[in-house]
Amino acid sequence: MDAGKPGDAIKKIGDLPVGLCLGNAERAAVAAAREAGADFVLLDERASAEAVLEEGVGLVLSVGADTGDTELRVMAGLPLEALEVPAVREPLTLRGMMELRRLSLLSQTPLLVEVQPEIGASRLQALREAGAVGVILDGKHADGLTALRQAVLSLPPRGRRREERPEAILPPLTAVPTGEEEEEPEYP
């Protein structure tokens, strides 16, 4: 949702999480979005560093698929709720899925992906497996919220990912005594 007249538009959405696209915002703009009722704000890398200091509103950073590994690792230390990634090209391939996983795993941050309202449950499930925890629907497509909500609700429960499963920790191997005791030398 655009930041033009946020208060009225946010009230129309109801109980769904609503975010405002602020781009290269200052801290005051983030505070104003929070006061208007936004659940989160979408920032880009040109936003003021002080913008991330604002509390009471989720911070989502827009990143491109070309974001480097080092930049993604550095993002893990920022107070971000999620990363917004570009809409996935059709058809979603394994290569596209791996790219989404790279963004999520290296940044240690969940993803929000823009989708069209007619997206199916199967595609949503694939996006979830790639690291997406939410989808973004453009405010122009608000009439498609009901169908999108039904598709999300029809998803099977998420299984545990490999990185979430418990790991067995084994003790290190040490030399086993042979049973023979060494005699200590006698001193006079």
The CATH code of domain 6-164 reads 3.20.20.70
Encode the chain in three state secondary structure.
Answer: CECCCHHHHHHHHCCCCCEEEEECCCHHHHHHHHHHCCCEEEECCCCCHHHHHCCCCEEEEECCCCCCHHHHHHHCCCCCCEEEECCCCCCCCHHHHHHHHHHHHHHCCCEEEECCCCCCHHHHHHHHHCCEEEEECCHHHHHHHHHHHHHHHCCCCCCCCHHHCCCCCCCCCCCCCCCCCCCCCCCC
What is the pLDDT at residue 65?
A: 86
What is the pLDDT at residue 68?
A: 94
Write down the domain spans for the chain: 6-164
What is the pLDDT at residue 99?
A: 93
pLDDT in tens, the chain (188 residues): 444 566 666 666 667 788 888 888 899 999 999 998 889 999 999 999 999 999 999 999 999 989 999 999 999 999 999 999 988 888 889 999 999 999 999 999 999 998 888 888 899 999 999 999 998 877 676 677 778 888 888 888 877 666 565 766 766 766 666 666 667 777 76
What is the pLDDT at residue 120?
A: 86
